[in-house]
Amino acid sequence: MAEQRRDHRDERDAREGAQDVPEGWRRGASAEEAQAWQALVATARRTVADGLVVGTSGNVSVRVGDTVLVTPSGLPYDRLAPDDVTGVDLDGRQVLGTLVPTSELPMHLAVYRTTDARAVVHTHAVHATAVSTLVPELPAIHYMAGALGGPVRVAPYAAYGTDELAENMLHALADRTACLLQNHGTMAYGTTLDQAYDRTAQLEWMCRLWLTASSVPGLSPTLLSPEQVAEAGEKLRRYGQRK
């Protein structure tokens, strides 16, 4: 009962907070936005099902034109319905929905303003977060680092939801498509939701691999050179089926 009361309170607070959004900025979702919202919700639920997120810790966004659809703040993903579509413009002004956007909106918007991203996934994945507390950069434990642009950097810690964190993240993302956030989690982007999610999952897997290998007493894992990672990245750009 206590959990149900808390969930109802979170949902009520999220809706009431959106009352501060000028009514004139809001509009109905287009067919493309409604379809993108369905895909966003499915991706958000996948982060929970695959253990990358616990509860509402983490967020997902997708860009449709100049509108960014985002998961709302503090609501379980399994409760999100088609009518809950939440969107902002690139300046952060809410244009869709009545739910308050994720508190990590500054990070998402920073990515869209500075890259060709069409989708962003942020998680608190366990192994990746653990690595973020140990090193300033994930050691080159596997060639799949090349798929993310090179060795994955760790953005210095800053309070969640702040412009400082967004700025730290952008530095870590320079020439990369994913990074770690110190004592916080992961950030990855792509041209599609599937690609952003896959990069997130790949990063978590590499972090788990490094933690596993480095935990063997008396032994240190062999690491790849920058040249080897770069070579793998070039090969991976040509990997898969061609359309």
Listing DSSP states for 72-92 in one string gives BTT--GGG--GGG--EEETTS
Q: Pinpoint the alpha helices (H) of the chain.
A: 2-17, 31-49, 105-114, 126-132, 163-173, 193-214, 226-236
DSSP state of 19: G
Whose CA is closest to 40, among 132, 122, 151, 110?
Answer: 122
Show which residues are catalytic: 104
Cβ atoms of 61 and 108 closer than 8 Å: yes
Chain centroid offset of residue 101 CA: 14
Q: Which residues pair with 102 in a beta bridge?
A: none
Sheet holding 119-123, edge to edge: 94-96, 87-89, 67-70, 58-64, 119-123, 185-190, 178-181, 154-155
Distance (Å, rounded) from C-alpha 68 to C-alpha 141? 34
User: CA–CA distance from 239 to each of 109, 116, 144, 145, 235 (Å)?
Assistant: 30, 21, 12, 14, 6
